[in-house]
Amino acid sequence: MFDKIAKVVRRYEEVERQMTDPAILSDHMKLTELAQERSDLQALVEAYQRHQKLSEELREAETMMELEDDPDMVAMAKDEIDSLGEQIEALEIEMRRLLIPKDPRDDKNVYIEIRAGAGGDEAGIFAGDLLRMYTRYAEGRNWKTDIVSENATGVGGYKEVTMSVKGKGAYSRLKFESGVHRVQRVPITESQGRIHTSTATVAVMPEIDDVEITLDERDLEITAEFSSGPGGQHMQKNATAARIIHKPTGMMVKIQSERSLTQNKRLGMAIIQARLQEMEEEKQHAAVAADRKSQIGTGDRSEKIRTYNYPQTRVTDHRIGFSNYNLPVVMDGDIDPFIDALTIADEAEKLADVA
């Protein structure tokens, strides 16, 4: 661990040196970049400096205890040694945590894609319930949400719906929501009072600023369609909705949330790029994930990550065995207890990898 910290300290010193270079001072973009890097490294460097100071005080206290004959002074030195040892241990835990690489996507805006799974109409209704849950959660954090693509059912649900969420830290809070969500309840369409099990799939994709996945327009089938409102009535005479199919993967989006065809086309392509980027990153992480005994599950889309049991008013996250017995509050957007527990479990796993 300390070898890694030494490299960080050297880099921090190099960044500080560069920030006094006249050539850098005249380059606002480079100076801003270095200032951000220094800020990212500062907490670890300060913790290390504090650790060095306490370690020196500990050595002095141990030397004093060895040389001292006065029992009172020996007892005082022992108390100081115990206190310093506890502080040093806490600092080492903190330094391990600070060594965990920050996910560069954590502060990004996201697209949440919800698809009805097994369960027919009830699965579509559940997809709508999840959409409301995430919308309420975003509202509670003063994030902005917009429905950018939807395929509604005739019973108040969705076959598929995509929502954009814009706000600081959106991806860091919502990234653990990806996976299969399962609901157990008596559907409103059930006349016999039997409990049914249905599923919906959630995918959380960070918005891409610097596009790493490039789209070849030859791979896209783009059609202009009329934007339709309730009951299928045309909202306007011009065809402004954009329907885009990515032919190599078969993925399709239909965007009608913007005012013009050009804007809808641009947004649709951004969503396809985000989906492709997510697919590529999943491929890259698959081999690593298979070898790790993760406390929070593999993140595989086929894994049932959470069950919403209405008869027992219980919500259980199977990745960490965490349950909440206030289902109505959860469905109203109070999912922070799950997100916090998953974040802690993820951090604990990563801490184990920091030697």
Instruction: Supply 302's token pair.
Output: 């086929």
Q: Pick from 285, 254, 252: which is nearest to 105 by CA?
A: 285
For residue 286, name the pLDDT band (cuts at 50, 70, 90). Answer: low
- 296 is a domain residue: no
Residues 111 and 203 reside in one and the same domain: yes
Final residue belonging to a domain, choices 45, 73, 99: 99
For residue 336, name the pLDDT band (cuts at 50, 70, 90). Answer: very high
Predicted pLDDT of residue 291: 37
Predicted pLDDT of residue 40: 85
The per-residue DSSP string of 19-45 comes to: TT-HHHHT-HHHHHHHHHHHHHHHHHH
- What is the distance between the alpha carbons of residues 301 and 253, in angstroms, rounded to a whole number? 20
The per-residue DSSP string of 117-161 comes to: -SSTHHHHHHHHHHHHHHHHHHHHTT-EEEEEEEEE-TTS-EEEE
Helix pair 336-352, 71-99: axis angle to 10 deg: 110
Angle 102-108-113 from CA coordinates, rounded to 5°:
115
Residues 226 and 286 reside in one and the same domain: yes
Residues 217 and 339 reside in one and the same domain: no
Residues 203 and 220 reside in one and the same domain: no
In the chain, how long is the greatest CA-to-CA distance? 97
pLDDT above 50: residue 298: no
- 19 is a domain residue: yes
- State how many domains the chain has: 3
Residues 344 and 319 reside in one and the same domain: yes
Predicted pLDDT of residue 354: 65
Range of the domain at 233: 212-291
Predicted pLDDT of residue 290: 47
**β partners of residue 161:** 114, 150
Residues 224 and 287 reside in one and the same domain: yes
For residue 165, name the pLDDT band (cuts at 50, 70, 90). Answer: very high
Residues 165 and 272 reside in one and the same domain: no
Place of tokens 């029992």: 71
pLDDT above 90: residue 218: no
Composition of the chain by helix, strand, coil, percent to 5: 50, 20, 30
Predicted pLDDT of residue 142: 96
- 273 is a domain residue: yes
Predicted pLDDT of residue 54: 93
Residues 154-190: b if buried by 16+ CB within 10 A, e if exposed: eeebbebbbbbbebeebbbbbbbbbbbbbbebebeee
Place of tokens 């370690």: 55
Contacts of 327 (CB under 8 A, 6+ apart): 308, 309, 310, 313, 314, 315
Predicted pLDDT of residue 294: 36
Predicted pLDDT of residue 285: 62
Residues 196 and 308 reside in one and the same domain: yes
- What is the distance between the alpha carbons of residues 316 and 331, in angstroms, rounded to a whole number? 13
Judge contact between 199 and 118, C-beta under 8 A. yes
Instruction: Supply 265's token pair.
Output: 């086309």
Residues 171 and 47 reside in one and the same domain: no
Q: pLDDT tens digits, residue range 248-262? A: 888 888 888 888 888
Q: Which of 47-51, 65-69, 128-132 has the highest mean pLDDT?
A: 128-132
For residue 288, name the pLDDT band (cuts at 50, 70, 90). Answer: very low
Instruction: Supply 195's token pair.
Output: 């409990």
DSSP code, position 191:
S
- What is the distance between the alpha carbons of residues 178 and 240, in angstroms, rounded to a whole number? 31
For residue 183, name the pLDDT band (cuts at 50, 70, 90). Answer: very high
Predicted pLDDT of residue 228: 60
Predicted pLDDT of residue 229: 52
The residue among 22 and 279 whose pLDDT is bigger is 22
Least confident residue range of 103-117, 156-170, 232-246, 257-271: 232-246
What is the percent of the chain where pLDDT is above 90?
40
Residues 184 and 140 reside in one and the same domain: yes
Least confident residue range of 4-8, 30-34, 86-90, 207-211: 207-211
pLDDT above 60: residue 230: no
- 246 is a domain residue: yes
- What is the distance between the alpha carbons of residues 208 and 194, in angstroms, rounded to a whole number? 44
Place of tokens 């606002």: 28
Residues 18 and 64 reside in one and the same domain: yes
Final residue belonging to a domain, choices 99, 121, 146: 99
Mean pLDDT, the chain, rounded, equals 84
pTM of the model: 0.64
Average pLDDT over residues 94-110: 84
| Domain containing residue 35: CATH number | 1.20.58
Final residue belonging to a domain, choices 291, 325, 341: 291
| Domain containing residue 331: CATH number | 3.30.70.1660
Least confident residue range of 52-56, 117-121, 157-161, 296-300: 296-300
